[in-house]
Every structure is written in structure tokens, then in C-alpha cells.
Amino acid sequence: MADPKPQPKPEEMPMWMKLLVFYGRFAPSFTAVGYVARGLPLRPLDASFKGQTWLVTGATGGIGRGIALGAARRGATVLAVGRKDSALAALREEGGAGIVPLRFDLGLVAANRALADEVARRGGKLDVLVNNIGMLDHAHRLNPEGFEATYALNLLGHFALTEKLIDAGVLDGGIVINMASGGLYNTALSMRRLEQKPERYSGVMAYAAHKRAQLALAERWTQPSRRIVSYTMHPGWVATQGVSTALPDLERHLGLVLRTPAQGGDTALWLAATRPASVPGALWFDRAPRAAHAYDFSRKPEVEPEAIYAKLIADVARVRSAAAGA
């Protein structure tokens, strides 16, 4: 019997095939249809986070807002991070005294490190860190520190913030939740796609690579000696402003069945309430650990996680060195 024909990689497919595979394979699970089919509306989360302190990035819109409000309504003090005073004020008005607004532009490594300093300055411990902020941009842009902007926002900033919080002991006994995406199914762990050059830039593949790398960071940040557990989760396909801007076709074809932000954030709240044992390599979705690979080509990494860590460490050090020399 002849060997089966190898699966084409997403970038090798014609557009009609990409859309057919994308929608046909994942829509029943990733939309609100999957949320309902798994019976989650019949299993409301009965949890109290009273006395806990959370840090949620990208808290003023979409999934981050759903998580921040869900935690605050269950008694947590939520350090809610956003860029705009008006959006933070609106979140505070809706969420009440449990929302503590913090204004930082987390597209900069320096701002992530400053946020970690601010959290440590306030004293106490963080029970939950939600690395939620992210962006898919189809145009190549550099941030003021010289990094490709989505790499800085989606991955490097998360790394700088979380590493500094761990080093300060603020997360001892706490959990880290990385907000990933089903987009990671489209790539193996890759260095070349993390920070692409302008001439062949693919925002979709860059975003996929950043989200795939988050799984590797979850492994690094699960530290039993410090009682830290880290998870990477998938929210499903959620109706957010980010989806409207970056993926208008998804909204146009599936807008009526996209998940609400509260549904997208449900697994984060569930993880915080139940704190299940770490499952190496798992992508948590709809309250369960799921396979992190949908295609064979993504199973063989192009690079080992240690090389990703080394790049992130070096890039953070570059910013620190530039600041010291200023």
C-alpha cells in the first residue's frame, strides 16, 4: 500500500481550501455551538474568589473584560490593565470596587517590567495572573523599542511581566493563565515566525507562532518548588473588536454563532476555581485539557523550547541594557 499523501501546510493551500478546512473542521467546536453542546450553560461556575488578587492584562475589552468582571463579581480584587483611562473608568463603573484600574501600554517591554514593579510595590501576592492581551495585525510594524509590534505584545511582553513577577516571589502559590488561540494549530514551534521581516510578513502566521510559544512558556512557568502552576487556554471563537478588525471574514460568516466574551473567559475562571494538575503540552479548552495539535506537521518543532527562552531572555536584556545606557 502506498504511503498516504502528506497533509499540505496551511500556507501551501489555495484560499478556498484554507477556508473550507478552517471553518469545516473547527466551527462546530469553537463557536457557541460547541459551548452549548458540551453542556457548559447548564454548569454555571459556583466559585468564590474572595480575598484573592488577580492581574488581568487587556482587561478593558473582549475576553479580558469578561474575565475581569467575572472574577470581581465573585469577590476578587482585580488589577485590571488597559491603555485608555476612559475604558478603565467604564470597567471600574461596571465592576465596582473589585476593579483596580492600572494604565500601562503593554506593547513595550519596559512597561511590562514597570507593571511588575507596581504590583510588587503594592505588596502581597498574586493569586492569578491572566496574560490575556494580544493582537493580530496584517501589517508589519515596529514598536518604539525596535521589535515587531505583535511579537512584543503577544509574547515578549508576557514573558517580561511574568518572569519579573516570579523572580519577585509575587506569584508563589499562584497560577498563570496564558490566553492562546486555535490559530496555534497552524504552525509548529518556530523561531523564524516569531518576529518576521517586512518583505514576507504574515500576521496570521506570526500570531500562530506567538500562541504556540505560549505553550512552551507554560511549561517553564509551572514550578512545583514555588507552588506555581501555569496553563495555556483557548477561548474559542469570540465576538470581540479584535476579531472584527483582524478577521472580518470570520465575523461575516460566523458572527451569529461566535461566543460571547463571558463564554470565552469561562475556562479561565474555571481554572482559577479548580486549579487542576498541570498537563504538559495541553491546551485547555471548555474546562478540559485538549490536544495542542490538529495536524501532523505541527507536532515536530522547528526549534526546541530552550531556544525560544534564550531569544526572549536576550530581547528583554536588550531593553534593560538600552535603558541603563540612556
H, E, C per residue of 167-190 = HCCCCCCCEEEEECCHHHHHCCCC
CA angle 175, 180, 184 (to 5 degrees): 140
Examine residue 9 and state whether it is found in any structural domain, yes or no.
no
Check: CB of residue 284 under 8 Å from CB of residue 264: no
**Whole-number Å distance between alpha carbons of 195 and 308:** 11
In this predicted structure, what is the pLDDT of residue 325?
A: 80
pLDDT of residue 13: 58
302 within a domain of the structure (yes/no): yes
Provide the pLDDT for residue 18: 58
Query: Residue 18 corresponds to which cell in the numbers above?
Result: 484554507
In a domain, 238, yes or no: yes
For 233, the 3-state DSSP assignment is strand
Give the model's pLDDT for residue 1. 46
Element of type H or E holding 102: strand 99-103
- Asked if residues 190 and 166 have their Cβ atoms less than 8 Å apart, the reply is no
CA–CA gap between residue 101 and residue 87 (Å, rounded): 9
| Distance separating alpha carbons of residues 199 and 184, to the nearest angstrom | 22
User: Residues 110, 136: contact at Cβ < 8 Å?
Assistant: no
pLDDT of residue 125: 94
Rg (CA), the chain: 19
Nearest CA-CA partner of 238 in 324, 137, 134: 134
Instruction: For residues 187 and 179, give the distance between their C-alpha atoms in angstroms, rounded to a whole number.
Output: 17
Of the candidates 31, 27, 77, 34, which has an alpha carbon nearest to the alpha carbon of residue 56? Answer: 77
Cβ atoms of 157 and 107 closer than 8 Å:
yes
Domain count, the chain: 1
What is the C-alpha to C-alpha distance for residues 19 and 22, in angstroms, rounded to an integer? 5
- Cα–Cα distance, 226 to 12 (Å, whole number): 44
* CATH code for position 313: 3.40.50.720
Question: Residue 124's pLDDT is what?
Answer: 87
Rounded-to-integer distance, Cα 46 and Cα 267, Å: 13
Q: Does residue 235 lie within any of the structural domains?
A: yes
Q: Quick check: is 23 in a domain? A: no
- Give just the sign of the alpha carbon dihedral 179, 134, 216, 236: positive
Does 6 fall in a domain? no
Q: Is residue 164 part of a domain?
A: yes
**pLDDT computed for residue 16 by the predictor:** 45
Give residue 6's pLDDT: 58
> Quick check: is 40 in a domain?
no
Range of the domain at 300: 47-325
Q: Report the alpha-carbon angle 271-151-252, nearest 5.
A: 70
Candidates 138, 130, 81; CA nearest to 231 is 130
- Tens-digit pLDDT profile for the chain (326 aa)? 455 555 555 556 554 465 566 667 888 899 999 999 999 999 999 999 999 999 999 999 999 999 999 999 999 999 999 999 999 999 999 999 999 999 999 999 999 999 999 999 998 899 999 999 999 999 999 999 999 999 999 999 999 999 999 999 999 999 999 999 998 999 999 999 999 999 989 999 999 999 999 999 999 999 999 999 999 999 999 977 776 677 767 667 677 889 999 999 999 999 999 999 999 999 999 999 999 999 899 999 999 999 999 999 999 999 999 988 86
